[in-house]
Amino acid sequence: MSEESVIDTSDHPIIVEGLVNQFGTQVVHEDLSLTVNRGEIIGVVGGSGTGKSVLMRSIIGLQRPTAGQIEVFGQSITGADPDEDIGVRCRWGVLFQGGALFSTLTVGENVLVPLRKFFPDIENDLLNEIARYKVLLSGLPEEALNKYPSELSGGMKKRAGLARALALDPELLFLDEPTAGLDPIGAAAFDNLTKELQHTLGLTVFLITHDLDTLYAICDRVAVLADKQVIAVGTIPELLALDHPWIQEYFNGPRGRAALATKEK
């Protein structure tokens, strides 16, 4: 990164430059760049196969890119081993699509997994109290602590996954399709919770979604993936001013118009 292109990482917790992700002959990302502002909820959208989840996995170090540079909190992620202690992994939390809970652990035990990894010396009584607090913070009742994932509804699994993502008091929260599969009431409740957590905890939220209601309701900016790159980043009105066919079809289609009408009520 040249001196002329240096970006203040204190204002931008995520900086992606020139990212290439290739699987065999399939190029998913080519020269993709994205800068995330501190304290914002940024929605990431794109058609199927555009690599939204691959981008997130690259940022958190689970996918090693073919080329490019990724910095999180000023620390290079590119090339780091997923198990390597690079000093920033405890500063983010991740809600994977579907919750990705450990099926043989209770909700409380799931929440304790990152705590035991990063803070192995904390006494059990304090660990259990932290788990209880995170479960309540996610909107689950206290009795959910001792339930197994198989005993939870789809919406409760997502909240349990969120409780685990919040276990380490992260500054950065990654959410992969958090409202997928939820009914409209449950999806709206999850959106409201995300916005409340952003304000209360001062979070920066990286949110992958197809849900237009979510984009209109809580996202400060939206990044659009198409043509193997981030082709545009901005507020929804700013995106609507662009003439890219996918953007126009997505935001001006029937569902986009319905989401806008709901927001304007």
Taking all residues of the chain, what is their mean pLDDT, rounded to a whole number? 90
pLDDT score recorded for residue 5: 46
Rg of the chain, C-alpha, whole Å: 19
What pLDDT, in 10s, does the model give residues 144-179? 999 999 999 989 999 999 999 999 999 999 999 999
What sign does the CA torsion over 83, 89, 94, 99 have?
positive
Residue 78 φ/ψ region, left for φ over 0, alpha for ψ in the -120 to 50 degree band, beta for the rest: beta
- What is the number of other CB atoms lying within 10 angstroms of the CB of residue 6? 9
What pLDDT, in 10s, does the model give residues 220-238? 999 999 999 999 999 999 9
Tokens of 230: 């981030």
Tokens of 195: 């916005």
Q: Which residues does 160 contact at the CB level (< 8 Å), separation at least 6?
A: 99, 101, 107, 110, 111, 135, 138, 140, 144, 149, 152
Q: Report the C-alpha gap between 219 and 86 in whole angstroms.
A: 29
Domain residues of the chain, as ranges?
A: 105-170
Q: Provide, rounded to the nearest whole percent, the portion of the chain with pLDDT above 70.
A: 90
Mean pLDDT of 83-110: 88
Query: The whole model's pTM is what?
Result: 0.91
- What is the number of other CB atoms lying within 10 angstroms of the CB of residue 262? 14
